[in-house]
Amino acid sequence: MSFQPTSHPGILHQYAPRLVAFEHIPPSGSLQPSPSLQAPTLITSAPSASSPTSQAVRPTSSPPKHTLLFLGGLGDGLLHPQYPSLLAPFLPQGWRIVEVLLSSSYSGWTTSTLRQDADEVEAAVAYFRALRSGEGAERDGAGKVVLMGHSTGAQVCMEYVTGRMGLRSGSGSTSSAVPSTRAEPQAAAKAPAPASTQTQPPTRAPIAAIILQAGISDREALPLSLPTSTITSTTALAHSYLASARGHDILPSSATDLTFGASPSAARWLSLAERGGDDDYFSSDLSDAELEGGFGVVGRSGVPVCVLFSGEDEFVPAGVGKEVLVGRWEGVVRGNGGRWFEGSGVVEGAGHGLEGGSKAVEEVVKDVAGRVAAFLGRVESG
């Protein structure tokens, strides 16, 4: 999708100090998207005496009750990827999509962790639950929040539900990423402990469901961009940093080749690149026991899950059987009594960010939007 300068109607919320979220507002009076699927244009008001350059967005016919919080991936920020603004008009009446800006957005991920992301997302969840809820909230179901994670945002959704980083640090094992408390890491974690030995995940602000779009393995994607010898040497260098209590330090660009767009800290590199790292939820070679520490916990949590795996994701190795992989996740969720959305599955013709595959982005967005709208309708009805 080529870049076109646009303006977007919406509301900018400050949900925590230095953290904001952008709420997309569909065109006034429109319950359906325009056929062109172009981002809606800003509706400007006449200049007023108090604010000669002010711009206003006309409200839709009824205020929203529920919120779809969108979480981007590594290097993403507001309006990137582009498809959230295209999804906005497709959402069921009463729902709004909101892009959340985290301290890990853009290049902030290099020194952040999934646990820190989940902590910040919790603040956004609490803010929008309170904002949408009023008198009779418990009676009419107002204030529901669903998390939709793209790429690493999908890992954040998993961390939010499972609390895996907290479980590891709480049980005596050490996470391979820098904890949100900023304690210095000592060693990289390997495979997560079996679910039966873990305590319950920490209680967070309630969410109604999660949507995982393009949840992929960074570990399996790395060899698509770097020689195995480079990955091995960089991983060894990262371990040497941790052994010298320098886990927070940024690795040299000569070692990482800026594969992720920026050089991460030693701890974050290991989180992304090593088996069992904190970001390692979606690798195709994870055992059933390892999946129990992720999707198994999601199943036992009772939080409904929808998985939308891009059929032509450029960051997934060709040898990975996408349908088989998603089927394994479904089996683990259902096997633990979880709620798996039947509309989950592989989105044919979709690239990582929906664009770039063999199908036109408009066609892919319609496919994804239909599944998301159906899932949200199911969530709202209970």
Q: Please write the tens of the pLDDT for every residue from 102-161.
A: 999 999 899 999 999 999 999 999 999 999 886 344 444 558 999 999 999 999 999 999
Q: Any idea which of 101-110, 199-208, 210-219, 367-376 has the lowest mean pLDDT? A: 199-208
Band of residue 274 on the pLDDT scale cut at 50, 70, 90:
very high
232 has a pLDDT exceeding 80:
yes
168 or 342, which is more confident: 342
183 has a pLDDT exceeding 60:
no
Angle (CA) 210-212-216 rounded to 5° is: 150
268 has a pLDDT exceeding 70:
yes
Q: Give the domain 13-25+61-133+140-225+279-381 fold.
A: Rossmann fold (3.40.50)
189 has a pLDDT exceeding 80:
no
Task: Give the global pTM.
Answer: 0.83
Band of residue 258 on the pLDDT scale cut at 50, 70, 90:
confident
- Determine which helix (DSSP H) or strand (DSSP E) holds 290, and give its type and residue range: helix 288-291
Share of residues in the chain with pLDDT > 90 (%): 67
Least Cα distance to 27 among 42, 5, 47, 14 occurs for 42
Domain boundaries, the chain: 13-25+61-133+140-225+279-381
Mean predicted confidence (pLDDT) in 262-283: 95
pLDDT at 231: 94
Order of strands, edge to edge, in the sheet holding 95-100?
Answer: 10-16, 19-24, 95-100, 66-71, 145-150, 209-213, 305-310, 345-347
123 or 180, which is more confident: 123
Least Cα distance to 95 among 140, 135, 58, 142 occurs for 142
pLDDT at 4: 77
Least Cα distance to 269 among 218, 193, 217, 228 occurs for 218
Q: What is the spatial distance between Cα 128 and Cα 98, in angstroms, rounded to a whole number?
A: 10
Q: What is the spatial distance between Cα 109 and Cα 159, in angstroms, rounded to a whole number?
A: 15
Collapsing DSSP to helix, strand or coil, 347 comes out as: strand
CB neighbours of 199 closer than 8 A, spacing ≥ 6?
167, 170, 171
* Digit-coded pLDDT (tens) for 28-77: 644 444 334 443 333 323 333 333 332 344 444 577 899 999 999 998 98
pLDDT at 227: 93
pLDDT at 261: 83
* Digit-coded pLDDT (tens) for 299-356: 999 999 999 999 999 999 999 999 999 999 999 999 999 999 999 999 999 999 998 8
Sole residue written with tokens 């646990």: 115
pLDDT at 58: 44
253 has a pLDDT exceeding 70:
yes
